[in-house]
Amino acid sequence: MAVPTHSDREKVVSKLPAGLQQDLKIRAAQHGIDIQHAVEAGITAWRGLGSNLSPIDTARAKSFSTWLPPGQWDGFRNDCTARGVSLVQGLSQAVHVWLDKNPSPGVQRPVIVKRVIVCNQKGGVGKTAVTAGTGEALAEDPDQLHPVRISKHFAAALTEEEDSPLDYEDLPGLGLNVLLVDFDPQSHLTKQLGHQPLPIEGDSLTKHMAGEAKGELRDLIVPVEDERFGDRLHLLPACTDAFLLDVKLSGVRAREAALERALAPIEDEYDAILVDCPPSLGLSMDAAAYYGRRRADEEPGNSGVLVVVQAEDSSADAYGLLTTQIEDLRGDMGLELDYLGIVVNHYDARRGYIATSSLNAWMDIKDPRVVGVIGDLKEQKEAVRVKRPLLAYAPRCDQSVGLRALAREIS
């Protein structure tokens, strides 16, 4: 049945098997086109075939509608009659033809491993939650759709009334191979993802950085298990010996490069490495920042520093100290060290003027710019309590959709 009108197209109502509907939705999103244009192309291709295709099981077909150019549906109906197939069978075959002609484009992988240094010398701003959530979003299944907040609208909506609408879009997962590095001796990232810190008498990242390694670093890495991440999300757990890292680094040759030397052997196994830094401005932060520098032939913005703050005054003071250290490193060592942006975390407009005015102040900073605003909601705390990844525990909560938008901003 064709029902006018949608600009220069007409609405078509029919049926299509649920599996084909889902495959069509995902594949169209992967190719960045509207479903209506995919169906239009499929019908055109089907009508051009010289022979009938094998029948498709349509016994459980469900209602399906889209918009097609005027006259295409009537012509398609006539062709179905001439070929002796039902309209639902013909439409199913047309969609199948389009899927065959437009295979999944595959994951877009960076040429040089993306290195994201998540930092702020102030504790309690949520660096760990942002590290974990961003890594989870980068690793999600590319053959499934996930709700993503449309980032160009979030700032205006969050600074208006509490019930302001936010725009969302279902997009395929990014499907990257991701390593989360717990660089904080407090081990919050390790524990939140359901793992135990490495024993102090054994091997650790600290020992690899200090030249005291007992084995291969990859042997310390553990998977973050959930079907939405496949085998794409891994964790390098922390060890409490990291409390001694600054002391150990003081006697290490080229100490700024110590983290890079430790991680270099496993870099080829990952598309992105995210480092959850401790609240420190010491030598360990120097090593982390150096690791995030732009390498030869690396595109600007592929790697760099992601600064997590809160919408309150003490975060602004800590931000000033951190950026001073980064600028000193840039100048003293001649580093090309990019800012990937600022993430305003734990935001809650209900806290009134302090929160909203602070958010506006962060928004006013144009270099680096705000690339994410993550709400202060219960789902993150619940995920921590049950030791599960947030995007697995509450994949459709506002924090999850915001973290997906953040991952796309920096990917």
Among candidate residues 149, 144, 187, the one with its CA nearest the CA of residue 392: 144
Element (H, E) at 169: strand 168-172
- CB-based contacts of 368: which residues, under 8 Å, 6+ apart? 307, 339, 340, 341, 342
One-letter amino acid of 78: N
Confirm whether 331 is domain-assigned.
yes
CA distance 27 to 21: 10
Last residue within a domain, chosen from 69, 101, 133: 101
Confirm whether 184 is domain-assigned.
yes
Confirm whether 377 is domain-assigned.
yes
Residue 384 belongs to a domain with what CATH number? 3.40.50.300
Query: Do 68 and 39 touch, CB atoms closer than 8 A?
Result: yes
Give me the helix-helix angle, 398-410 and 127-139, nearest 10°.
70
Last residue within a domain, chosen from 101, 123, 148: 101
Overall size of the chain counted in residues: 411
Averaged pLDDT score across all residues of the chain:
90
Mean pLDDT of 100-105: 94
Domain extent at residue 82:
2-101
One-letter amino acid of 370: V
Is it the case that residue 324 has pLDDT exceeding 90?
no
> Are residue 28 and residue 138 in the same domain, yes or no?
no
| Per-residue tokens: 262 | 């430790």
- CB-based contacts of 407: which residues, under 8 Å, 6+ apart? 134, 137, 138, 174
| Per-residue tokens: 187 | 């081990």
> Are residue 290 and residue 234 in the same domain, yes or no?
yes
Is it the case that residue 169 has pLDDT exceeding 60?
yes
> Are residue 66 and residue 162 in the same domain, yes or no?
no
> Are residue 134 and residue 64 in the same domain, yes or no?
no
Q: What's the pTM value of the predicted model, to 2 decimals?
A: 0.88
142-163 confidence digits (pLDDT tens): 999 999 987 544 444 454 444 4
> Are residue 6 and residue 151 in the same domain, yes or no?
no
Number of structural domains in the chain: 2
Tokens 């290195």 sit at which residue?
115
pLDDT at 95: 97
> Are residue 7 and residue 136 in the same domain, yes or no?
no
> Are residue 160 and residue 55 in the same domain, yes or no?
no
Mean pLDDT of 277-288: 88
DSSP 61-83: EEEEEEEE-TTHHHHHHHHHHHH
173-182 confidence digits (pLDDT tens): 999 999 999 9
> Are residue 95 and residue 118 in the same domain, yes or no?
no
Confirm whether 246 is domain-assigned.
yes
> Are residue 138 and residue 259 in the same domain, yes or no?
yes
> Are residue 147 and residue 84 in the same domain, yes or no?
no
- CB-based contacts of 279: which residues, under 8 Å, 6+ apart? 120, 121, 122, 123, 127, 184
